[in-house]
Amino acid sequence: MALPRIGAHPQLGKLTLTNRLPRRPGVYVFRDAGRRPLYVGKAVDLRRRVRSYFTGDDRRKVGGLLRELHTVDHVECSSELEASVLEVRMIHELAPRYNSRTKHWRSYAYVKVTLDEAWPRLSVVRQPRPGDGCVYVGPVGSVGTAQRIASAIQEVVPLRRCTARVGADVCASRPLRSAPCTPAQLGVATCPCAGAVGREDYAATVGWLVASLTSDPTELLARLGAKLARLAAQQRFEEAADLRDRAAALARALDRQRRYDALRTAGRVRVELRGGAWAVIESGVLRGAGAAEAGGSSAQGASRAQGASCAQGALPVGGEPPASGSPWPVPRHLVDELATIAAWLDARAGSFRMLECERGLALPRARLASFEPRGG
């Protein structure tokens, strides 16, 4: 059906670049005349997918992409799952100009509860610090998103907002300064600097927040919902809309975190895919994949998956909860792969067979509150 339109395509001569592509799952790389990567994509059928750029893809960037296209490289994979993961790894490594998704992983950020301080607070950081015993939410897509999440938490949890290092000996009889900080004077934070709050009361607030972020965030989100309802009832609609957006960012981050933690703490997961292909996932990361044959193709698939992981530096994965009991945060360079695998398992739940699951894989039954604006 696309053939009648293909004759007018200005880059039709480049269609011959697709002739050697197999009709198999895999990853393709568009390169320019200098062999620089332009775009990385995945496909269930490599030849059909790349040819679709010349027939039915009317996205604005495609015209410029095809004008610069000089060669098409590809890596054949054993399954759609392996292709999806390899696509993410290659985008991270190559940072192609025309890719927008997952390319900016170095800009991801975390919201940190600074449990390594005597009087913990919320902080936005680029990288988690190994072994610091702190609790992290994320990573999320940017520092701005992390700041919105921290602001949503501060709306209903009165942690201190000053950035001074407050020692454990600060109390009413030994204040750090004579007057509370500005947020405390406005009544939106508790400030230990002037001795206005005791250690036990503050520790109870921090403990409740940690439990909400790592176990059950229902009450935390309910507090935000109640405040949102009060603002709407007072017809403070702009403030309500701003709080809704911040609460939605927090709810999304916590929902993703629950899903990621479930997959990471499952340990080693081995699945058989439709058509006999297989995959091995450890702590949420693809460690091996192969086709149904017991010979070369399976070994090559497993080697390719492991090799792509090593190309990114083989940083620690961290699927086990540390001794403190709080799960180690997902490293920035792995979160896109983890998200890809989790989404694939959800979408293909009826098309694969679980052969092994080391410690069990289950998601919490209760759904989190959603603050997403309703359409219409």
Residue 189: half-sphere exposure toward Cβ, Cα within 13 Å: 23
CA dihedral 109, 113, 116, 117 (to 10 degrees): 120
Is 99 contained in some domain?
no
Q: Is residue 102 assigned to a domain?
A: no
3-class SS shares of the chain: helix, strand, coil, % to 5: 45, 15, 40
Q: Are residues 279 and 319 in the same domain?
A: yes
CA dihedral in degrees (352, 353, 355, 357; nearest 10)? Answer: 70
pLDDT at site 293: 62
Does residue 298 sit in the same domain as residue 254? no
Q: Is residue 195 domain-shared with residue 229, that is, in the same domain?
A: yes
My answer on whether 234 and 186 are in the same domain is yes
Q: How far is CA 347 from the centre of its chain?
A: 17
Q: Do 119 and 234 belong together in one domain?
A: yes
What CATH number is attached to the domain comprising 52? 3.40.1440.10
| Percent of the chain residues past pLDDT 70, beyond the cut | 76
Of 129, 181, 140, 137, the closest CA to residue 159 belongs to 181
Which H helix or E strand runs over 48?
helix 46-55
In-domain check, residue 93: no
Higher pLDDT, 116 or 72: 72
Q: 130 with 66, same domain?
A: no
Residues 275-287 have a mean pLDDT of: 89
String of DSSP letters for 180-228: --HHHHTTSS--GGGT-S-HHHHHHHHHHHHHHHHT--HHHHHHHHHHH
Domain shared by 55 and 37, yes or no: yes
| Boundaries of domain holding 173 | 108-262
Tens of pLDDT, residues 118-166: 888 899 999 998 788 899 998 999 999 999 999 999 999 988 887 766 6
d(CA 146, CA 129): 17
When pLDDT is averaged across residues 170-182 and rounded to a whole number, the result is 55
The dihedral over CA atoms of 157, 163, 167, 169, expressed in degrees to the nearest 10, equals -50
Torsion of CA 127, 100, 351, 359, to 10 degrees: 0
pLDDT tens digits for 33-53?
999 999 999 999 999 999 888
Residue 94 domain-assigned (yes or no): no
Question: 269 and 255: one domain?
Answer: no
Same domain, 220 and 317: no
Gyration radius from the chain CA atoms:
25
Is the separation of the CB atoms in 258 and 376 below 8 Å?
no
| Of residues 16 and 301, more confidently modeled | 16
For residue 158 the two structure tokens come to: 């009165």
Residue ending a domain, choose from 262, 284, 312:
262
Single out the residue in 262, 295, 323 at which a domain terminates: 262
Same domain, 273 and 172: no
Q: Which residues pair with 28 in a beta bridge?
A: 41, 74
User: Alpha-carbon distance 319 to 374, whole Å?
Assistant: 36
pLDDT tens, position by position, 215-231: 889 999 999 999 999 99
pLDDT at 28: 95
Alpha helix positions (H), 282-331: 296-311
Provide mean pLDDT across the span 56-74.
81
Q: Does a structural domain hold residue 365?
A: no
| Residue 38 in domain | yes
Reference 42, options 56, 59, 55, 29; nearest CA is 29
pLDDT-based confidence at 9, cuts 50/70/90? low
pLDDT digits (tens, 9 = 90+) for 296-338: 444 344 444 343 333 333 333 333 433 333 457 889 999 999 9
Domain check: are 282 and 211 in the same one? no
Identify the pLDDT of residue 315.
Answer: 30
Final residue in a domain of this structure, among 262, 290, 316: 262
Do the domain assignments include residue 150? Answer: yes
To the nearest whole number, what is the mean pLDDT of the chain?
81
3-class secondary-structure state, position 328: coil
- Rounded Cα–Cα distance for residues 87 and 51 (Å): 18
pLDDT confidence of residue 66: 87
Same domain, 132 and 177: yes
Question: Do the domain assignments include residue 368?
Answer: no
pLDDT surpasses 70 at 340: yes
- What's the structural domain count of the chain? 3
